[in-house]
Structures are given as structure tokens and as C-alpha cells.
Structure 1
């Protein structure tokens, strides 16, 4: 049984085969926004600065 593949996925797969130079640009874009190195100290600082979320955001009594 074959797995479903959307038309968009097929298009992108074919397009990337025809334009392999875009793979490097894709990696650069991902590194720009997502792939950031973080130290343990940085992770601890972010966790300590996190503000707890209220159970119900619009309740003014809590």
C-alpha cells in the first residue's frame, strides 16, 4: 500500500531535483532562523525567565 503524497510535496520534490543549488540556500535560511547553538547556561537563563501561564487567560480574578 502506497503512502499518500500531496501535490505540493510532489511539486517541491520535483522542483528540488531540477534546482539542486536551492538546497544550500534552504540550509542557509534554516540556519538563519532556527539552527542556533545554545549553551546550558543560556537554556537555564531562558527557563528561569519563563512566566507561568494562567489557567484561563481572560479571567481577571486569577
Structure 2
């Protein structure tokens, strides 16, 4: 028998109890992180409208 850590055993038990967990995680990731690509015109407009930041942002000048 090979060694299995407590974390690995927990994850395997969780996945056996909830078989759709992988799909739920992927749909949650797609909801929060996977964004549609910007078109080139919108990207250029965003670049041109960016305001340059001062070297020291906390200075009150």
C-alpha cells in the first residue's frame, strides 16, 4: 500500500460524494475568470484613454 496524505484522501472522498464537483468548479471559473477577448479597436481606445500615474501616488501636489 502506498502512502496517501490526509488532504488527498479528503479530496478523493469529496469527489466520490459529489461527482459533479469538477464541472461546478469549471463553470465557476468560467463565470469569474474566463473573459471574452477584447476587439482591437476597444483595446486601443482603452490604451489611449489611460491616465498616466505619478511616481509617488500618495503625494498631494
Q: Given the two structures, how large is their TM-score scaled by the length of structure 1?
A: 0.54
Structure 1 residues 26 and 59: CA distance shift in structure 2, 3 A: same
> 1:17 matched to which residue of 2?
15
Q: Which runs of 4+ in 1 moved over 4 A?
A: none
Greater relative CO, 1 or 2 (CA 8 Å, sep 6+):
1
> 2:56 matched to which residue of 1?
56
Structure 1: stretches of 5+ with no match in the other structure: 1-6
Q: Secondary structure at the match of 1:53?
A: coil
Q: How many residues matched?
A: 52
Structure 2: stretches of 5+ with no match in the other structure: 1-5
Question: Offset at 1:57?
Answer: 1.1
> 2:35 matched to which residue of 1?
36
Which structure would you say has the larger Rg? 2
Q: Does 1:45 align with 2:45?
A: yes
Q: Secondary structure at the match of 1:25?
A: helix
